[in-house]
Amino acid sequence: MKPDPFRHHPNLRDRITPPERSFFRDFGPEKARAAMARHGVGDGFPFHTDAEREALRAEALSGHAGDLWIFAYGSLIWDPALDFAEVRRARAAGHARQMILVDTYGGRGTAERPGLMAALDDGPGCDGLVFRIAAEKVEGETAILFQREMIGPGYLARFVPVVIDGREHRALTFLADHDDPLMRPDITREEQVRYLSTGEGFLGTSADYLRNVVAHLHEMAIPDANLDALLAETEAEIARIG
């Protein structure tokens, strides 16, 4: 019998979507294009080709051997869509969960009313989860992961140091790519609140996206004080503009 993936954190068992029930298990460009087309949005979205995405995956995993840790800071925390051997709480020093990815392609915002989503950027430290993928499953599971996270520009697949139960490990994660024009590390708080208050697309509002992230982080006992404050400011602005 193989070890229980939740043996270290049994309370997470009912809070993480099993891969067989995840929308993202077979998510990729075709599914995204179809959804965008149904809603008449997404024109010009810079999808990576399969060859480009595979090249990025090969580059990221170059030199890696054995089991693979993946650090989750956003929706991967509660819906990784991965067949993992172990889940642990972890902290990535020198990074932070930041609302700096601007959406103008119709998902959570438009060019007229941009939306906002999360990315991992420089900061004082970020608490999240890490998922360990068994060596024999790394090829297949990272192919699924990159279909989702590297569907287009915006992120850099990189290994970062993470601390798990007092010990340092290396984990693959997806960092904000400052060369992408939609990644705004210089965004002001006023702009963040405005985009979150008014951005909306076929996936829903940016405000609901932030509410969902904050709610899940609290449910997982990984609260983020900055996002808590940002949500309070966003709710106040929504109430102000009616």
Burial 123-141 (b: 16+ CB within 10 A, else e): eeebbbbbbbbeeeebeeb
The secondary structure of residue 119, as a DSSP letter, is E
The secondary structure of residue 183, as a DSSP letter, is B
User: Which is nearest to 71 in space by CA: 57, 58, 87?
Assistant: 87
pLDDT of residue 1 exceeding 80, the answer is: no
Give residue-wise pLDDT tens across range 152-192: 999 999 999 999 999 999 999 999 999 999 999 999 999 99
pLDDT at 238: 98
Ranges of beta strands (E only) in the chain are: 68-72, 86-92, 95-105, 110-122, 126-133, 155-164, 167-176, 200-201, 204-205
Give residue-wise pLDDT tens across range 22-67: 999 998 899 889 988 998 988 889 999 999 999 999 999 999 999 9
User: Which is nearest to 177 in space by CA: 104, 102, 107?
Assistant: 102
Q: Across the chain, which distance is largest between two alpha carbons, in Å?
A: 57
Residue 136 φ/ψ, nearest 5 degrees: -70, -10
pLDDT at 39: 87
pLDDT of residue 200 exceeding 90, the answer is: yes
**Residues annotated catalytic, as ranges:** 149
For tokens 């287009």, what's the residue?
A: 152
pLDDT at 120: 98
pLDDT at 74: 94
- Look up the pTM and report it: 0.94
Give residue-wise pLDDT tens across range 63-122: 999 999 999 999 999 999 999 999 999 999 999 999 999 999 999 999 999 999 999 999
Do the Cβ atoms of 6 and 13 come closer than 8 Å?
A: yes
Other residues' Cβ atoms within 10 Å of the Cβ of residue 218? 13
Virtual torsion, Cα 5, 9, 10, 11, nearest 10 deg: -140
User: Which is nearest to 145 in space by CA: 84, 90, 80, 59?
Assistant: 80
Specify the 3-state DSSP secondary structure of 93: coil
pLDDT of residue 147 exceeding 90, the answer is: yes
Specify the 3-state DSSP secondary structure of 5: coil
pLDDT at 96: 97
